[in-house]
Structure 1
Amino acid sequence: MSEYQAITQPGIDPAGYRTAGPLFAAFHGELVPHPWRDPESEHDAYQLFHQRSVAMGWLDERSSAAGDERAAKAPGLWAMNNAGCNAHQAAPEPFAWFQVECSTPAIDRPLPVQPFLRCAEDTVTRIGAAQLSAVQVLLPLQGLDPTSRPRNALVPSLETCDWFGERDPQAQTSVTVSINSGRNPALPDVAKQLTSRLDHLEQEVFLHSGSESASEDITLPPPFADEFWNGPPVHSLTLRGDLAEWSCDAVGWLAATIADCAAHLGVRTPLLVSVVRG
């Protein structure tokens, strides 16, 4: 069993607190710890991620409360679960990973992948200098209800694509995007429709240049056990194109957009999205 397995979150009453499901991120590449950092510091990835989540107002503290206390706690985008960081981890294992329980998004909001990855990136920056070569995200599509989306927010992330409008044109980066539905064949069944939807969105954050379906994903192995998400990674769709910039912001925006487009096509299983630079 991998160390990146599902970890039960204490204090949640399934009957009284509805969530979208686990949201997981893994960072691949190189991490050089800051020379002044104490390797035995109590400020590990979990604590730093928790602190950053609270500071930014992203942590949902209702999950740890019961009964009347829950109403007094701050709502948020996710509840803490676990995190880890190992600068000496050998490829293909990630050097950092983060797992939260994602709150159910409002009907006019996307899955909070963008703030989630930003929080993870801020955490890693506190630990060392990172050179990211790939980002993996597990998206809880089972927690999305596309039928509840208002007509002006069918793909809510489109409302924020202009965030990437003011940027250095030289920042555009070629990427390979692998989308995998595990053992569920839902993804290959809608592969053509999904790529068509992405092509017709009015945005310039991700410019799609080609795609292919495959019966096996070899881009990056999942960093967790098969039973955590419906693995192994059997059904895959690979997209190639240019991302507006190589950043967790852009990767998060793209992942949330893919999630909504796939959900509208009937995909209700977790999707593992791997975005590889170059």
Structure 2
Amino acid sequence: MFVALHGELVPHSWRDPESEHDAYQLFHQRSVAMGWLDERSSAAEDERAANAPGLWAMNSADVSTHPAATEPFARFQVECSTPVGDRPLPVQPFLRCAEDTTARIGTAQLSAVQVLLPLQGLDPASRPSNAPVPALETCDWFSACDPRARVPVEIGVNSGSNPSISSVARQLHHDLGHLPQDVFQYGEMASVGKDIMPPPFADDFWNGPPRHGITLRGDLAAWSCDAVGWLAATIADCAAHLGVRTPLLLSVVRA
């Protein structure tokens, strides 16, 4: 999984820019503290780790307080473990960890979030019949949000050079709109075949170039990485159930 955070980041005045607590170290420590990263140092612990694996392995992390105008101010990449049958793709904790790490470095004004979802690692057949979209089990967390916190967003879902997302666009929009949840209130499907933001990486990093995409609009319960992560996990499972098996670039922009 990969995430890019767009907007503005104002560094904390008290923070030493040369501190050893850089983005990689902070993301690593937050992952360990929350049990999202499992690093074992002995063979005896390997067996225990196999029974209770972490959600990801560290790959890279970078936060910049002076990015180029069109560049994200933060990027994080992890190697995601295959989720067990009744658990969603761990996008929500991944984005929460990215948000927490960034908050240690500065104050962010977030305008957009881009996530690369590894749908090739999802197996819809492994989902229990009573929980085909596992993220739905946590809707109540967002039901307690202040109703005034709802924000309109635009969502781009792109399958790169693979046409799979375009071929299921209408059905995906229908399925998302009929889920028993109110975290995201789906509006119109604005377009098919376009993307709302350019990818934050080169074509050879995923399945680029971004030729096949759809754009959705609606209202999200809150403008946070937590809510965007929930939305991303839900879209991932719905797309996987429709046969999409290629990485998806999800771009969520605050309207």
TM-score normalized with structure 2 length: 0.96
**Partner residue in 2 for 1:187:** 165
Measured in 1, the distance between the counterparts of 2:217 and 2:224 equals 17
Contact 1:26-1:98 at 8 Å conserved across structures: yes
**Partner residue in 1 for 2:25:** 47
Contact 1:191-1:213 at 8 Å conserved across structures: no
Q: CA deviation at 1:228?
A: 1.3
Could you give the per-residue CA deviations for residues 51-86 of structure 1, whole angstroms, max 9, x where no partner exists? 000000000326xx7966532446210010001011
Could you give the per-residue CA deviations for residues 153-180 of structure 1, whole angstroms, max 9, x where no partner exists? 1000000011011121110000000000
Contact 2:194-2:215 at 8 Å conserved across structures: no
Measured in 2, the distance between the counterparts of 1:148 and 1:214 equals 30
Measured in 1, the distance between the counterparts of 2:61 and 2:215 equals 28
Unaligned runs of 5+ in 2: none
Unaligned runs of 5+ in 1: 1-22
**Partner residue in 2 for 1:160:** 138
**Partner residue in 2 for 1:258:** 235
Instruction: In structure 2, give the amino acid aligned to 1:71.
Output: E
* Residue 183 of structure 2 corresponds to residue 210 of structure 1: no
Instruction: In structure 2, give the amino acid aligned to 1:110.
Output: P
**Partner residue in 2 for 1:126:** 104
Q: Secondary structure at the match of 2:125?
A: helix
* Percent pairwise identity: 72
Residue correspondence of structure 1 range 261-272 to structure 2 within 5 A: 261-272=238-249
Instruction: In structure 2, give the amino acid aligned to 1:175.
Output: V
Q: Secondary structure at the match of 1:151?
A: coil
* Alignment: residue pair count: 253
Q: Secondary structure at the match of 1:231?
A: coil
Could you give the per-residue CA deviations for residues 184-220 of structure 1, whole angstroms, max 9, x where no partner exists? 0000100000000001101001111111343342x22
Q: CA deviation at 1:47?
A: 0.4
Residue correspondence of structure 1 range 80-229 to structure 2 within 5 A: 80-217=58-195, 219-229=196-206
Contact 1:92-1:221 at 8 Å conserved across structures: no
Measured in 1, the distance between the counterparts of 2:190 and 2:10 equals 35
Measured in 1, the distance between the counterparts of 2:104 and 2:251 equals 24
**Partner residue in 2 for 1:75:** 53
TM-score normalized with structure 1 length: 0.88
Measured in 2, the distance between the counterparts of 1:102 and 1:214 equals 29
Measured in 2, the distance between the counterparts of 1:107 and 1:267 equals 17
**Partner residue in 2 for 1:240:** 217
> Which of 205, 230, 233 is the aligned partner of 2:207?
230
Contact 1:178-1:239 at 8 Å conserved across structures: yes
**Partner residue in 2 for 1:57:** 35
Q: Secondary structure at the match of 2:236?
A: helix
Q: CA RMSD in A?
A: 1.4
Q: Secondary structure at the match of 1:198?
A: helix
